[in-house]
Amino acid sequence: MNNKPLLETGKYYHIYNRGNNGQNIFFDTKNYNFFLNRYDQYMSPFCNTIAWVLLRNHFHILVYIKPFEEIDIEKLEYTATEVPKKIDVHLQFGHFFNSYAKAINKHYNRTGSLFEKNFERKEVHSLDYFKKLIHYIHYNPVKHNFSEEIWDYPWSSYGSIISHQSTKLNRKFVLELFKNQEEFKLYHSEHKDYDDISEFTIEF
């Protein structure tokens, strides 16, 4: 039985999913870009993205679910209906995952589920935990031996946050948490203990 909480508008969530049975969900560099493009198409109208990382067999995304009044339903393109009567973020995540999975299965001539059935989500109810949770997300490639340093890994929001190029990531929100870019870099250069945010992190 799925006892995971429903996503509610106006709240922050750490969202995670991985490959079915821990298998890979990214097989080539182009898959990472395709995933990000599909995420933007399907989820950016519904969510503000704060931090993310994509690894070979899983991903982490920290998001803010927009209130209904901030969503322009007349301009939604990637939903089940042209103008949905109800904003259902769960359903929208399902459309996103299914769209990506179908494209990957077709391209690589594979069958079966790509993702585990139900994505994990943890509500983050206090801004006090955000800095360390963002560090946790960006540190995942180092933790799983995909990179020696946080800033060397290309498939995370770290690079977008320290860049001055345009981005749909909520860079302003992140930098205000850390006061400025230099404090953000310094914070990410230090080792962290995640015990005090264990209720917001997700491990398998």
Helix (H) or strand (E) holding 120: strand 120-124
Q: Enter the pTM of the model.
A: 0.91
C-alpha torsion angle, residues 142, 145, 148, 153 (rounded to 10): -70
pLDDT in tens, 86-133: 678 888 898 899 999 999 999 999 998 999 888 899 999 888 899 999
pLDDT in tens, 138-161: 999 999 999 999 999 999 999 999
CB atoms within 10 A of CB 45: 19
pLDDT in tens, 66-89: 998 888 776 676 655 455 556 788
